[in-house]
C-alpha cells in the first residue's frame, strides 16, 4: 500500500490585526503596512549572520520603509506595535523555490564574463528560481538552461528578491558601500559580484555558447586584440606589437586581429602582417579563440573572453594591478619602480581618453606599459608556442 506523504507548508507570518504586512527584498529589504487600523509600528531589519540590527524605523499604517543596503543579506524582519512592543510579524529570508532576479548593470564584456559564474553559485546556494539579465545573454542562455534570461530593463513580476551586480559610486566618485560591500578596486574583478551576491569567490570560467566545434582555418594561428576604451589600457610601447607579431609570423603562425576597431583607432595602429577577423557575432569570436594557440591582448573584454573559453591568454597591463585579472592568465605587467595600478587607485574618467591620473602631460605618462618591451612579451609566450 502506498502511503502519501502530506506536503509540509511553510508557516505564514502573522500580520497585525486588521492590517497587512507586505514585504520583499527587491533593491533592499522592504516593508509596507497597509490596512484600515491606524497604528504605529516599529520595523527592524536584522542581519541574521551577525545578529546586528542594521536598520529600524517607526512607521504608521499605509507607510513603508526600505533598507539602504541593497546587496545580499539574509535579513530577518520583525514588526512590533509601538505601543506595548508586541511583535506582530516576523520573517526570515529564505530564497528556496522563490523568484529571485540578478541584473548585471555593466555592458562591458570583461565585467560580464568575470562576474557570471557567481550567478550559478548563487542559484545553487539559494535554491531559488533564478532570473538573470545581462547585455550578452546570447553567450550564456544555451549553457545555463536552469536560469531564465531576460533583457535588461524588461519588467519581471512577482519577485521575492532582486540584486544588481556592478561597480557603484556616489556622485563624487566615492564607492557606494550600500551597494558594494567592499572596495571593488582592491580585489579581483570577479570578486565584487561574489560580494554582492553573498557567495564565496572562485575564479571559475563561465560556460560560453559555441556556433560549432569546427576549426575555422586549418593552419595554426594566434589571436591578438590591441584596442580598448582608454589610452591607459593600451600597450604604449611604440614597437611592442610589431615585435610580437613579427615573432609569431616567423614561427609560422597566422596572426588574427579580433578588435572590431580595425587596423587603426584613436592614433593606435596595428602592424602589417595581421589578418582582421571576418565579421561575425561574439559567439563566433569565441569559437576562433577556442582553437587559437594563444591570445595576446590588453586590459579589455576580449582578454576575458579568451580566458573564458580556455585559450592561453597573455594580458599586457600596467594600469591594473596583478590581482585584478584571473590568476591563471599570463601577465606582462609594469616594470619594478614604474607607476602602475591607477585603475585600482582612482576612479576612471571615461570622458578623458588620455586619462593618466598620476603623470598626465609629463614624461612619465603611460610609463606603466610604455616600458614593457616586445621581448618581455615574447619571453612570456615562449613556453606556450608550438
Catalytic residue among 111, 183, 338, 352: 111
Among 101, 104, 86, smallest CA distance to 25 is for 101
Q: Are strands 275-276 and 330-332 parallel, antiparallel or unpaired?
A: unpaired
Query: Does the active-site annotation cover 111?
Result: yes
Q: Report the C-alpha gap between 313 and 212 in whole angstroms.
A: 21
Query: Which of 363-366's residues contact partners 24+ apart within 8 Å by CB, and which partners?
Result: 364/339, 366/231, 366/232, 366/234, 366/236, 366/318
* Contact status, residue 257 vs residue 276, Cβ threshold 8 Å: yes
Beginning with the edge strand found earlier in the chain, give each strand of the sheet holding 75-81 in spatial order. Answer: 52-60, 40-47, 75-81, 87-92
Burial of 282 (0-12, 13-18, 19+ CB in 10 A): middle
Compute the C-alpha angle 54/56/58, nearest 5°.
Answer: 175
Q: Cell 614561427 belongs to which residue? A: 251
**Which residues touch 326 (CB under 8 Å, ≥6 apart)?**
114, 188, 190, 203, 304, 307, 313
Cell numbers found for residue 219: 593552419
Residues designated catalytic: 111
Amino acid at each position: 500500500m502506498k502511503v502519501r506523504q502530506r506536503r509540509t507548508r511553510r508557516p505564514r507570518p502573522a500580520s497585525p490585526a486588521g492590517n497587512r504586512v507586505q514585504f520583499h527584498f527587491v533593491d533592499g529589504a522592504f516593508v509596507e503596512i497597509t490596512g484600515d487600523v491606524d497604528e504605529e509600528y516599529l520595523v527592524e531589519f536584522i542581519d541574521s549572520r551577525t545578529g546586528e540590527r542594521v536598520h529600524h524605523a517607526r512607521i504608521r499604517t499605509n507607510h513603508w520603509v526600505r533598507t539602504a543596503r541593497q546587496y545580499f543579506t539574509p535579513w530577518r524582519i520583525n514588526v512590533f506595535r509601538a505601543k506595548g512592543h508586541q511583535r506582530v510579524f516576523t520573517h526570515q529570508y529564505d530564497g528556496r523555490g522563490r523568484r529571485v532576479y540578478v541584473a548585471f548593470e555593466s555592458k562591458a564584456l570583461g565585467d560580464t564574463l568575470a562576474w557570471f559564474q557567481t550567478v550559478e553559485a548563487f542559484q545553487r546556494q539559494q535554491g531559488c528560481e533564478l532570473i538573470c539579465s545581462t547585455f550578452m545573454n546570447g553567450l550564456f542562455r544555451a549553457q545555463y538552461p536552469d536560469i531564465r534570461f531576460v533583457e535588461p530593463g524588461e519588467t519581471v513580476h512577482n519577485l521575492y528578491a532582486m540584486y544588481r551586480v556592478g561597480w557603484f559610486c556616489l556622485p563624487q566618485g566615492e564607492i557606494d558601500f550600500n551597494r558594494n560591500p567592499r572596495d571593488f578596486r582592491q580585489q579581483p574583478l570577479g570578486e565584487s559580484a561574489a560580494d554582492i551576491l553573498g557567495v564565496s569567490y572562485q575564479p571559475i570560467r563561465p560556460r560560453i555558447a559555441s556556433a560549432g566545434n569546427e576549426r575555422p582555418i586549418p593552419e595554426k594561428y594566434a589571436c591578438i586584440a590591441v584596442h580598448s576604451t582608454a589610452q591607459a589600457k593600451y600597450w604604449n610601447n611604440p614597437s611592442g606589437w610589431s615585435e610580437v607579431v613579427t615573432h609569431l609570423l616567423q614561427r609560422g603562425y597566422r596572426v588574427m586581429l579580433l578588435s572590431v576597431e580595425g587596423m587603426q583607432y584613436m592614433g593606435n595602429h596595428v602592424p602589417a602582417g595581421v589578418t582582421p577577423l571576418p565579421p561575425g557575432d561574439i559567439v563566433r569570436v569565441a569559437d576562433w579563440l577556442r582553437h587559437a594557440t594563444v591570445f595576446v591582448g590588453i586590459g579589455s573584454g576580449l582578454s576575458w573572453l579568451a580566458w573564458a573559453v580556455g585559450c592561453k591568454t597573455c594580458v599586457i597591463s600596467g594600469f591594473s594591478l596583478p590581482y585584478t585579472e584571473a590568476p591563471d592568465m599570463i601577465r606582462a605587467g609594469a616594470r619594478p619602480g614604474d607607476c602602475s595600478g591607477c585603475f585600482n587607485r582612482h576612479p576612471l574618467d571615461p570622458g578623458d581618453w588620455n586619462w593618466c591620473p598620476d603623470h598626465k602631460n609629463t614624461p612619465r605618462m603611460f610609463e606603466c606599459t610604455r616600458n614593457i618591451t616586445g621581448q618581455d612579451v615574447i619571453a612570456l609566450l615562449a613556453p606556450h608556442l608550438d
